Amino acid sequence: MSVAQIGRWKVWAALSAALVGLTLPTLAATPASATTTAYDSTYYKNAVGKTGTSLKSSLHTIISSQSKISYDAVWNALKVTDQDPNNTANVILLYSGTSRSKTLNGGAVGNWNREHVWAQSHGDFGTAAGPGTDLHHLRAADVQVNSIRGNKDFDNGGSAVSGAPGSYTDSNSFEPRDADKGDVARMILYMAVRYEGDDAWADLEPNESTSNGSVPFMGRLSILKQWNEQDPPSAFEERRNDVIYTSYQGNRNPFVDHPEWVEAIW
């Protein structure tokens, strides 16, 4: 080896050693920016400025003041809350984004039905007035797609879902299409704040499992947090929050108004 080659080899060896010890930054979603809403000085006045368990407790108290509707009444409510902004005769279906006639609600192939985003079995609340009829996590969805999702937890990955382009599923988890990821995350985390076990229902909480079965937990929290950052509230989601507040339940999903509160709590 020539003197020049030896010199180059020593430089490369030193550089390689330096690179081995280099720790690259971990890629993470950028936290949602703080927002201001017209409700901050009224509806949210006892929550603004708080973080952690204090914020969660304050929001629970605020959103627990809620009118409840029957499961039968959910049909007509979804025709209003999930209305297609470009076609008032239709609803927009969760997971697929399909616009379908409001009259096609039911249980047959080609119909849409009532999807519990926080699965009923995760806390065993069924369809009774309360968590079983809470419009903040009930959405219109294609019957077959709804069946494929079943009561699975949420996570990334799996095989493509027929009838819902961009959605994926495996044996124990479901990944909605990108346009619905934030919606799903904010619905799940709303339920975790609204239902804290201080009424007739279980204490619903997010966790990191995708095998929750009938326990009152829903995963995967780290993925839901990513989805909240990745897919900010849309005009459709914001309108839906307003309609539920003014026309049905009298309470709001705070994470639609303040998506940054997800990180402030979890």
Pairwise CA distance, residues 178 & 254, whole Å: 21
- What letter represents residue 127's amino acid? T
Tokens linked to 87 = 């076609």
Looking at residue 26, its pLDDT comes to: 40
Other beta carbons within 10 Å of 179: 15
Tokens linked to 30 = 């950028």
With cut-offs at 50, 70 and 90, classify the pLDDT of residue 34. Answer: confident
Instruction: Please name every residue paired with 154 in a beta bridge, in sequence order, or none if there are none.
Output: 174
Q: 104 with 93: CB under 8 angstroms?
A: no
Q: 228 with 129: CB under 8 angstroms?
A: no
List phi, psi (to 5°) of 110: 95, -10
CA–centroid distance for 73 within its chain: 23
For residue 206, is pLDDT > 50?
Answer: yes
50-89 pLDDT, tens digit each:
999 999 999 999 999 999 999 999 999 999 999 999 999 9
Pairwise CA distance, residues 234 & 186, whole Å: 12
* pTM of the complete model: 0.88
Task: Put residue 95 in one of left, alpha, beta given phi > 0 → left and psi -120 to 50 → alpha.
Answer: left
Q: 133 with 229: CB under 8 angstroms?
A: no
Looking at residue 31, its pLDDT comes to: 56
For residue 12, is pLDDT > 60?
Answer: no
Decide: helix, strand or coil at residue 126: coil
Tell me which residue has tokens 């307003």: 242
Looking at residue 18, its pLDDT comes to: 42
With cut-offs at 50, 70 and 90, classify the pLDDT of residue 35. Answer: confident
Half-sphere exposure of 57 (CA within 13 A, CB side): 5
